[in-house]
């Protein structure tokens, strides 16, 4: 075996190792196609293979997405959950649709860097700048809409975030080597009675769905959320406050493959990318359970639990500000606040009838007021690109937010995978997965 063939990335491709899907991509120079590591096609010769850190980088070098393995539909790299630097923050914000809504200048302002600095850092690490990363995301959103809805092609173009039909057509041809019409024709016709956008939300490795749905059921706020069905076959539904309008999402607990099945009902389809990103953060679908297990299994206290409970996740929040306010208010007061200040849906969806109040709605509340004012005034940021350390310092200055609540907000609202439990001795050896360790510790040290 040559040195090139000993490359761990090539070995992952040769063994079709799904653990690395989304962590990197490989392209075949002789075919002009890029794939995920687990692609079932015949393994190409090493000399014909090029590796890329992102799908956007592969597309930028002229490679087209594989039709067999759908490399644009893989889980995101777990690195973006862990990293707190400018690149990690930028990727999370691009996933949330910031570039589509505010452009690269808006992204740069949120990061506190110049557009040139953001472009340089992303290109150096990811092989693609913010525009290319957002373009790859728009292409994936367009494919989902083309293949799961009966929307006219022109409507798909603008719903996916493209500024013109011509840009949309050119991008689809470049990424998929087909026209939008041909891409749609590859799937069965969408039934006339179908409603919403059906999705398969991919995850990496084992996924302890039961524990995630147990937590969602325990926390559900009537009117905003509900969990129905029997354990093992439950459905989680909730309302979403999105940039262009409200939405309702339903996610199933079980699926026949490495994904969760969901359906999104959106007032404005331009919110699809943002809604999916927030749902993935809530359900912690981009985590790397193999890396978590490897680290935490070395802890004698946690090792038995890690072995017995594969795929434990550290859920985030569909709406970071909502979660923070509810953490301060508690369940009973959250219900009262929803009844008094919630935004009613124009058309209630079953038991789901409202959006939780915004921070601006609660600045005068006797309990949530200080936190609401910090959020509304910008002193505290909890969006996907927020600096976690700055947010922690800001939380410490908010009256009424104690260490335990602050740790919960950092874990859930900010999606920080490495928050030590404030009520147990810290164990740095569990870093960078102390948020996951806390999920295991709840079973080891109940109460």
What residues act catalytically?
Answer: 35, 423
Return the closest-CA partner of residue 376 out of 363, 394, 390: 363
Token readout for 285 is: 């679908």
């Amino acid at each position: 075996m040559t040195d090139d063939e000993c490359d761990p990335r090539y070995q992952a491709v040769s063994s079709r190792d799904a653990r690395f899907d989304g962590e990197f991509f490989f392209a075949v120079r002789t075919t002009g196609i890029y794939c995920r590591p687990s692609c079932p096609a015949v393994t190409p010769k090493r000399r014909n293979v090029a590796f890329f850190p992102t799908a956007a980088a592969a597309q930028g070098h002229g490679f087209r997405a594989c039709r067999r393995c759908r490399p644009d539909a893989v889980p995101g790299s777990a690195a973006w959950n862990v990293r707190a630097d400018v690149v990690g923050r930028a990727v999370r914000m691009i996933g949330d649709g910031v570039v589509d809504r505010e452009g690269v200048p808006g992204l740069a302002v949120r990061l506190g860097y110049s557009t040139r600095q953001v472009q340089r850092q992303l290109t150096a690490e990811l092989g693609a700048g913010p525009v290319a990363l957002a373009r790859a995301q728009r292409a994936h959103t367009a494919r989902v809409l083309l293949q799961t809805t009966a929307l006219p092609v022109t409507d798909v173009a603008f719903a996916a975030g493209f500024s013109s039909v011509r840009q949309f057509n050119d991008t689809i041809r470049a990424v998929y080597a087909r026209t939008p019409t041909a891409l749609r024709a590859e799937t069965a016709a969408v039934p006339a009675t179908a409603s919403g956008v059906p999705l398969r939300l991919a995850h990496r490795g084992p996924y302890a769905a039961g524990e995630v749905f147990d937590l969602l059921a325990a926390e559900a706020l009537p009117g905003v959320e509900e969990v129905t069905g029997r354990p093992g076959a439950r459905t989680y539904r909730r309302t979403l406050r999105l940039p262009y309008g409200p939405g309702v999402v339903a996610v199933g607990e079980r699926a026949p493959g490495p994904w969760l099945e969901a359906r999104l009902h959106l007032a404005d389809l331009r919110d699809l990318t943002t809604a999916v990103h927030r749902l993935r953060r809530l359900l912690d679908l981009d985590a790397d359970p193999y890396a978590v297990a490897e680290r935490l299994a070395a802890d004698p206290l946690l090792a038995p639990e890690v072995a017995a409970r594969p795929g434990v996740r550290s859920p985030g929040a569909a709406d970071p500000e909502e979660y923070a306010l509810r953490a301060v208010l508690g369940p009973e007061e959250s219900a009262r606040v929803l009844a008094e200040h919630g935004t009613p849906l124009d058309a209630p969806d079953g038991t789901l009838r409202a959006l939780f109040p915004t921070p601006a709605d609660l600045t005068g509340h006797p309990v949530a007021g200080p936190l609401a004012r910090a959020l509304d005034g910008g002193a505290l940021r909890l969006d996907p690109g927020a600096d976690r350390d700055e947010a922690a310092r800001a939380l410490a200055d908010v009256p009424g937010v104690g260490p335990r609540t602050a740790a919960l907000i950092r874990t859930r609202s900010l999606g920080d995978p490495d928050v030590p439990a404030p009520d147990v001795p810290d164990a740095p050896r569990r870093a960078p997965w102390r948020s996951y360790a806390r999920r295991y510790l709840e079973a080891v040290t109940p109460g």
